[in-house]
Structure 1
């Protein structure tokens, strides 16, 4: 009876050992599957880490390019502002010159009026001298001296008239030149004012571009910082996954060793049961 009980117990132990061995095999297979899955996740995370690093590097370069563009636009805006100020000064100088020429034109007009008055006086003087000469001729010998004076006065009046004619001619040329200069100055004023307006508009556009590039630069820097943080997070997760993978491999190895031990124990129990079954009292 004792041997029968031992054989029965040994059979149960063998059955349990077989079941344990099967469980060990299943656990080993699952451990291998988990290890393979973790390896896949680790590979994917490594690729993700590389991609995020590349994105971070690209955004960093974009930020640098945006900073350079912002510096260029800022320099252009400053240069345009200086150019605008210079153009405004030129416009003011041209405007002042135009006013001076207009004042000169008014002075020439006044001189022309004066010479016109002198011409009228000379003509009247010449007429009076002619009448005086006629009266002196009628007076005969007693009017000879007066006739000489009258001739001299008439000669001076004639010379004054000729001088005023020459002055009028010169003044006419001056007025013509002044008028052309005024017209030219007005064109210059219009051109410089248009240039100032255009430069101001361009300066405003450059400032808008500068603000836009500055916003892009800020956004790019923010993205770069975010991707850098993501890279660190991914690397941290990757390290954790790699550590889990290492433990999973250790567990799989331990399970495999346990399965081998179970198989060895199962073989021993099988031999024991066979030997006990041959034993007879």
Structure 2
């Protein structure tokens, strides 16, 4: 029995301590701050000691009840069994709440993984957009360098403009697709926020049930509080994602307008280009080249922003996974406690 208690305490300390260290020393693990070894060890020791103490108290309480049940069947024995039965019902209620928290956390994890996949798709689209902008710059530079040979290469000149016009149409289509993907990510972020609120409520209910269970629910209450903290952090991350999506949507709108103006300019030049308007065309080419450079810069910024979003969503997925593991551990603890109580009731 003692070895089982120590084994369970070690498991709880590893899971809860790891979660707390990830939260308390995040900047040290993933940033530039120095990692505090003593603080990390204390973080592992606290849940271990809490688990051992609560288990010892529970065993002493159960032992007293078992001694009482060795007496003849009387009113005190009946009261003892009623008390144990009531405790078993409370622990069963705790286990059910843990199951609900676990299911909600799994749903949140699935949504987070879907958002990660969507963010990767958007990043891929942004890379294609940047490549299109680079191709456009190369084409316009080629037209500018060969402008003095316009009389001899009029046909080739018009072909270059036609290709640039097609590129502008493709660019606008890519931006429209990107805007649609932003909308999907915003919807997913809203769903994650809703799930975080529900998970937070379930964690609160679990804490209440743990408080009602007294000593039997102390270890569960610690992990339930951590699940609540993870739910709050997930909600904050989802709000940051929404803000980033708003900025990216505005950028996509500006890019779409630039692409539309670019296509209109190319169409007008295809219709009006002549040898007498050579100087005007040269000026227009310089303007288009500047616009293409601006599009390329915005595309690069968009890629960087999407990488930030992907990082936020990845952290959200890791938090959700930790919540699932914590809830599963709670369910195992509750199941073991229920079995112990059943043995005590049978022995009485």
Please give the TM-score of this superposition, normalised by the length of structure 1: 0.51
Q: Which has the higher helix share?
A: 1
2:107 to 23, 27, 33: 33
5+ residue gaps, structure 1: 80-200, 277-281
Tell me the residue number matched to 1:230: 302
Q: After superposition, what is the alpha-carbon deviation per residue over 1:141-184, rounded to whole angstroms, capped at 9, x for unaligned?
A: xxxxxxxxxxxxxxxxxxxxxxxxxxxxxxxxxxxxxxxxxxxx
Q: Find the counterpart in structure 1 of residue 206 from structure 2.
A: none
Pairwise CA distance, 1:202:
5.5
CA contact (8 A) 1:76 1:206 kept: no
- Give, in angstroms, the shift of residue 78 of structure 1: 12
2-side partners of 1:29 and 1:4: how far apart?
37
Count of matched residue positions in the alignment of Structure 1 and Structure 2: 154
Aligned counterparts of 2:106 and 2:98: Cα–Cα separation in 1: 12
Q: Alpha-carbon deviation of 1:5?
A: 2.6
- Out of 190, 207, 210, the residue aligned to residue 279 of structure 2 is 207
Following superposition, the deviation at residue 69 of structure 1 comes to 1.3
Equivalent-residue separation in structure 2 for 1:30 and 1:210 (angstroms): 62
Give the Cα–Cα distance (whole angstroms) in 2 for the partners of residues 72 and 4 of structure 1: 102
Query: Which residue does the alignment assign to 2:222?
Result: none
Aligned residue in 2 for 1:19: 93
Q: Residues of 2 paired with 1:48 and 1:28: CA distance?
A: 30
Q: Which residue in the other structure is 2:136 paired with?
A: 62
Is 1:239 matched with 2:319?
Answer: no
Larger radius of gyration: 1
Give the aligned partner of residue 197 of structure 1: none
Shift of 1:41: 0.4
Residue 270 in structure 1 maps to residue 342 in structure 2: yes
Alpha-carbon distance between aligned partners in 2 of 1:202 and 1:67, rounded to the nearest angstrom: 20
Ranked by relative contact order (alpha carbons within 8 Å, sequence separation 6 or more), the top structure is: 1
Larger deviation, residues 15-24 vs 209-218: 209-218
Offset, 1:33: 0.7
1:217 aligns with 2:289: yes
Counterpart-to-counterpart distance in 1, 2:274 and 2:317: 62
Structure 1: distance between partners of 2:140 and 2:80: 86
2:83 to 2, 5, 9: 9
Q: 1:19-49: per-residue Cα shift (whole Å, max 9, x none)?
A: 1101111111111111111000000000110
CA distance in 2, matches of 1:44, 1:252: 22
Question: For 2:115 and 2:340, how far apart are their aligned partners in 1?
Answer: 41
1:43 equivalent in alignment to 2:106: no
CA distance in 1, matches of 2:323, 2:276: 69
Give ranges in structure 2 of 5+ residues lacking alignment.
Answer: 1-74, 153-272
Q: Map 1:115-264 onto structure 2 (within 5 A).
A: 204-264=276-336
